[in-house]
């Protein structure tokens, strides 16, 4: 997300990268403890095709807020607050 001249702009496919996570934040899959769960909770823009926010989550869609950086946490709360106005309801995507 960028701030400029008092306006808020969304960057296309603004995702949380692994570098934004705190150490040891990867959780293992409940079905296979040797394989980490790789899912993301995606908030798709209602008005701009290809724009979304995506955050690492478990298979149930729960985001570990403690594992996010402060900037990623702010983006998560921003997207969640604007569901129905700027973003569609989030979907859980299996990213392998």
Predicted local distance difference test score (pLDDT) of residue 38: 83
pTM, 2 dp? 0.63
Give the mean model confidence (pLDDT) for residues 16-21: 41
Distance CA 1, CA 13 (A): 10
Token digits of residue 29: 């899959």
For residue 72, being part of any structural domain is answered with yes
Full residue range of the structural domain in which residue 73 is found: 14-19+35-96
For residue 6, being part of any structural domain is answered with no
Asked whether the CA dihedral 15, 17, 23, 27 is positive or negative, the reply is: positive
- Per the structure, the count of domains in the chain is 1
For residue 25, being part of any structural domain is answered with no
Predicted local distance difference test score (pLDDT) of residue 95: 87
For residue 29, being part of any structural domain is answered with no
For residue 54, being part of any structural domain is answered with yes
Distance CA 31, CA 78 (A): 32
Predicted local distance difference test score (pLDDT) of residue 82: 96
For residue 2, being part of any structural domain is answered with no
For residue 51, being part of any structural domain is answered with yes
pLDDT 10s digits, 33-67? 556 658 999 999 999 998 999 999 998 999 999 99
């Amino acid at each position: 997300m960028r701030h400029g001249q008092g306006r808020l702009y969304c960057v296309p496919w603004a995702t949380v990268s692994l570098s934004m996570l705190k150490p040891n934040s990867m959780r293992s899959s409940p079905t296979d403890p040797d394989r980490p769960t790789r899912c993301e909770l995606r908030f798709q823009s209602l008005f701009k095709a290809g724009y979304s926010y995506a955050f690492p989550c478990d298979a149930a869609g729960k985001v570990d807020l403690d594992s996010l950086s402060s900037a990623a946490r702010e983006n998560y709360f921003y997207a969640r607050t604007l569901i129905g106005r700027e973003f569609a309801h989030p979907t859980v995507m299996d990213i392998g």
